[in-house]
Amino acid sequence: MPTPHLETVKMDELDCWRIRHNGAEVLVAQQGAHVFSYQPADAKPVIWPNDKAVFKQGKGIRTGVPVCWPWFGVFERNPQSVKAMRQSDQPAGAHGFARTAIWTLVGVQDNRVELALIAPAGGFPGWPHQVDLNMSLLLDEQLHIRLTSHNRGTDTVTISQALHSYFAVSDVRNVQVEGLDGLDYIDTADGWATKKQSGLLHFTAETDRIYLDTPAQLNIVDKDWQRRIQLTSEGSKSTVIWNPWTERAKAFDDMADDGWQGMLCIETANVLDDAVVLAPGASHTMGVSIANLPV
């Protein structure tokens, strides 16, 4: 039963919950187990407040933390081992089906909420595997998001996935990302060329990159807002960093033309060679803890 820390709210077509703890607040939609707001006490929002986001059944929400699963991004760009899991003649939607599936609330305990997406008998439509998902949201001084995949079936299953987080920034042109220096990345906005990061990452154009062998901690340093968003990941060695910039933003009907300026996606991931292989009975947890700290 819900405790006083949890309340139900409706956002247009979607059923959602509000979690409160010591002045901090998180909003999560049942569709997709999708966190779409994180407001620490007495601070600016950590999640990008996209006033054009739509809350419709069957449509992804363009902000917060979409759950990309059991493949990431454009299906055809996934490793063969991930693609082989799908059995369907229908076009595969970007980022898989978990982000628009209806999850079940399975536990509420003070400042922790758990949601699950249980594989039906025979698996999901077009993806016939018995892999259950559990999402744990814990709100203390940080927001801790943990996504566990549990293979209950008898075949080995390979997935790619991401917690596709949209963060609020003062202006993406003025922030920097710490923690990537010296890493190889795939520049998907430049023909999937492999490149090497030198120094802090800053933004001057459309950015769509997959960083490889990423460390557990990354920081968005936002001097104008005098804050650092610290991301501490687990179970992930790849990170996707995305900003659509001017032209791609205009093509989205759920983003203002200048919306790209106030957002930055840093996506805790398991993609490409970091895809997750789940033997029968095995579980894997990918998570991120999000902290709002002074610069």
Strands (E), 22-72: 24-29, 34-39, 67-68
**Catalytic residue (choose from 25, 164, 202, 234):** 164
CA quadruple 263, 267, 271, 274: dihedral sign: positive
Q: Which is nearer to ligand G6P, 114 or 274 (CB)?
A: 274
**Catalytic residue (choose from 95, 144, 267, 284):** 267
Task: Give the Cα-Cα-Cα angle 201, 232, 290 (nearest 5 degrees).
Answer: 95
Closest residue (Cβ) to ligand G6P?
242
Q: Which is nearer to ligand G6P, 136 or 165 (CB)?
A: 165
In the residue annotation, 13 being an active-site residue is answered as: no
Q: How far apart are CA 51 and CA 269, in angstroms?
A: 26
Q: In angstroms, what is the minimal distance from the CB of 240 to ligand G6P?
A: 5
Q: How far apart are CA 284 and CA 292, in angstroms?
A: 27
Report CA-CA distances (Å) from 294 to 40, 43, 122, 180, 201.
13, 11, 49, 20, 19
- By CB under 6 A, name the binding residues for ligand G6P: 60, 73, 94-95, 164, 208, 240, 242, 265, 267
Q: Which is nearer to ligand G6P, 31 or 111 (CB)?
A: 31
In the residue annotation, 34 being an active-site residue is answered as: no
Type and span of the H or E element at 82? helix 80-83
Catalytic sites, residue numbers = 164, 267
